[in-house]
Amino acid sequence: MADDGLPVIARFEVRRRSYLAPDGTLLRPLPDFASDIPTLLALYRGMVLTRAFDLKAVSLQRTGRLGTYAVSLGQEAVSVGVASAMRAEDVLLPSYRDNGTLLWRGTKMEEILLFWGGDERGNLSCGPAHDFPYCIPVGSQAPQAAGVAYAFKLRKEPRVAVCLFGDGATSKGDVWEAMNFAGVHKLPLLFVANNNQWAISVPLKLQTASQTLAQKAIAAGFIGEQVDGNDVIAVRAAGEEAIAQARAGGGPRLIEALTYRLSDHTTADDAARYRPPEEVQARWKEEPIARLRAYLVSQKAWGKAQEEELATECQKEIEAAIERYLASSPRAPETMFDHLYAELPRSYASQRAELSGGSDA
């Protein structure tokens, strides 16, 4: 469009946050929390545990002991970084791939396995009782997150709703409608777009022509920030800042975490059908765990012995969880009626009796 001397009435900026380069060297001074080595070690452990658990879950699926499972391989920094920025009283609204976030918040591994193994009891979750379960339909959790955040604002509670979704979800009206409302009401809400570049087989460039996903927040009237989603320090720092702002009444924020889905979409997918192995290989050089490990090693805070010890510890924890999962029995069939309504309506009694083999006139 020719400018015709027309005035520019608005300009926008989108910033990208990163601290650790792919080789673990520093790009800029670290945020305060990162000077505390135990904090970084906890983040490292969270990511290693998530990856080990994910890989074990895949092998369970391959051997027929688990249903379809969504792996978060390569995206552990998003899951763990966001979770570590939250408080217990905040409410998480996760997508189906946020395994590391749930684990960090206290959901037990056997609960995650139970859910993907086909049992609703997995969603009972030992994590915070107010957290939402995995959202399977893409993006539906976003307007729900706005409802949760509205409740906090109405009751004047210093709590924040944290909603995670993928790049594909940003194409849905759900996410836009939620961001739009959150902007209007300055809701205490953090949106996290896990931009792993692929929505099953559809690459980002077919998802949107937008230069960034972060800028979608600008149209809703609040800040959208891009972070290196393979840099757990950057994710956590951005998350902490956004959550603190939201908690203080400063309204919502969108974080676009740039990462890469190193795995198939789920165990039911074969990514070799739509993307070249070279692309995936190249992206392995940027993955989050090796990056933080390189930094920790450079700080003399980590070494081979600790690495082996951590691996053994994670394996032990995971094996024990798998044992508990595999030892669990299916719930009694008639319990499928138990949580349909607060109280089972009269007219359901005969169907429940039919299922349990009892008689009902």
Partner 1 sequence: MPELTLVEAINLALARAMEEDANVVVLGEDVGVNGGVFRATVGLQQRFGAARVIDTPLAELLISGLCVGMAAQGLKPVGEIQFMGFIYPCIDQLVNHASRLRNRTQGRLSCPMVLRTPHGGGIRAPEHHSESTEAMLAHIPGLRVVMPSSPERAYGLLLASIRDPDPVVFLEPTRIYRAAKGQVEDSGEALPLDVAFVLRQGRDVTLISWGAVVKETLAAADELAGHGVDAEVIDLATLKPYDEETVLASVTKTGRCVIVHEAARTGGFGAEIAALIAERGLTSLLAPVARVTGYDTVMPLPRLEQRYIPSVSRIVAATRKVCEFA
Known catalytic residues are 261, 265, 274
Q: Does 132 bind partner 1 (CB under 8 A)?
A: yes
Q: Does 329 bind partner 1 (CB under 8 A)?
A: no
Whole-angstrom distance, CA of residue 194 vs CA of residue 165: 6
Whole-angstrom distance, CA of residue 361 vs CA of residue 348: 13
Stretch that binds partner 1, among 52-60, 192-200, 284-292, 331-339 (CB under 8 A): 331-339
Q: How far is the CB of 48 from partner 1 (least distance, A)?
A: 29
Q: Which of 27, 136, 206, 244 binds partner 1 (CB under 8 A)?
A: 136
- Least Cα distance to 213 among 157, 271, 151, 170 occurs for 170
Within 13 Å of residue 343, how many CA atoms lie on the same side as its CB?
2
Whole-angstrom distance, CA of residue 83 vs CA of residue 192: 11
Q: Which of residues 146-205 bind partner 1 (CB under 8 A)?
A: 146-152, 154, 161, 173-174, 177-178, 180-181, 184
Q: How far is the CB of 217 from partner 1 (least distance, A)?
A: 16
Q: How far is the CB of 178 from partner 1 (least distance, A)?
A: 7
**Which amino acid does the sequence have at 115?**
F
Give the binding-site size for partner 1 (rule: CB under 8 A).
44
Question: What are the beta bridge partners of residue 135?
Answer: 95
Quick one: 273 or 339, whose CB is closer to partner 1?
A: 339
DSSP, residue by residue, 346-357:
GGGHHHHHHHTT
**Which amino acid does the sequence have at 228?**
D
Q: How far is the CB of 277 from partner 1 (least distance, A)?
A: 35
Q: Does 339 bind partner 1 (CB under 8 A)?
A: yes
Angle among Cα 119, 122, 127 to the nearest 5 degrees reads: 170
Q: Does 91 bind partner 1 (CB under 8 A)?
A: yes
Return the structure tokens found at 42: 């906890």
Within 13 Å of residue 81, how many CA atoms lie on the same side as its CB?
33
Query: Footprint of partner 1 on this chain (CB under 8 A)?
Result: 91, 93, 120-121, 123-125, 129-130, 132-133, 136-137, 140, 142-152, 154, 161, 173-174, 177-178, 180-181, 184, 336, 338-342, 345-348
